[in-house]
Structure 1
Amino acid sequence: MALRRRIDFREGGRVLILGATGSAGSMAIQIAKRFGAAQVIAAGRDTTRFKALEALGADRTITFDEAAVAADVDVVLDFVWGGPAAGAMLPMLTARADRSAPLTWIQIGSMAGATAPVPSAALRAARLQILGSGIGSVPSRDFVAELPELAAAVAEGALDVRARAVPLAGIAQAWTEQTGERLVLVP
């Protein structure tokens, strides 16, 4: 949704994914590549998952404190928000080779916090656009329009989906396991 319905993402674009070690972030790597991203940089906390991210198509893996190396991306897909996003923002913006080149920061998830202390200098330091992507920002008809292609890609094995069915009665246990898999609750 973020790349196809919130912005006009063009083939050859460069993408940074904050929170790439999570389930949604690892899917975003594959989807960005599928949509023609020339470069996908995956940022995360769990460095033990970096090799797996490269296998999914990440061109480079970094930790959040290395975000300045991704300064010249066109789009940031942010699944974490909070302090880590705010902490990465200013170093990225000030390291850009051309600060007048647009950078679109798409806030998708908030695993690290519902609010982010974005420094005012970030809004003046470069041509930055921050927007959100999720239910409410995208009409339901757009979700419905995207589902057939996504379902076909999953069915044909073009996307590596790491999901595990969990009986509803076992949700408490499964939630604490932190496996990096998407949990699918089964009644």
Structure 2
Amino acid sequence: MRKRIYGIETEYGLLIKDTEFKLDPAEVANQIKNHIFSSKLGILDLHYRANDEPPGNGGFLLNAGRIYLDMGHLEYASPECSTLTDLVTYDRAGDAMIQDAVDELGWSDSIGIIKNNVDLETNATFGCHENYLVGRSFPFDERDNLKLLSAFLVTRQIFCGAGRIGACNPHPFRDWEGALDEESEDNV
């Protein structure tokens, strides 16, 4: 097998467990991000990365990963990895770093950090991004290769997809249905 570079980006959601907790979710995400950088686990970007990513919005971590805010929610991008074992290790390290920040801020009883894939208020889909890299020499024109690739892309949600239960508000809970893919309703 040829060498590949792997990476993963995860978008996190906040589960507010304490009705007395008064911070806005976007402010919680911002404070978690700031705590990570004030703990000297990385360095904030000092310049614009894009129009929607101002200075201080995120930065690079000592593990070569990245923490930043995207549309008010926290994202962690692993460093580029050369093995799948390293990729899983860095992904879990990102989870642990974010949970440690929640614990150190004293919010463990009030909020939970979750890997989610859909916002039931806005019906926005997000979650874990994946890419498939094949060489230019891959014979797409061979029917058997397309059959294998198509079968993989269609069935991968059954075996490893995050799925979804629910619907965009204001649907009552009793009307929620399950889906194999968080975007299945959007892609039909």
Q: Shorter-chain TM-score: which interval? A: under 0.3
**TM-score normalised per structure 2:** 0.27
In terms of Rg, which structure is larger?
A: 2
**TM-score normalised per structure 1:** 0.27
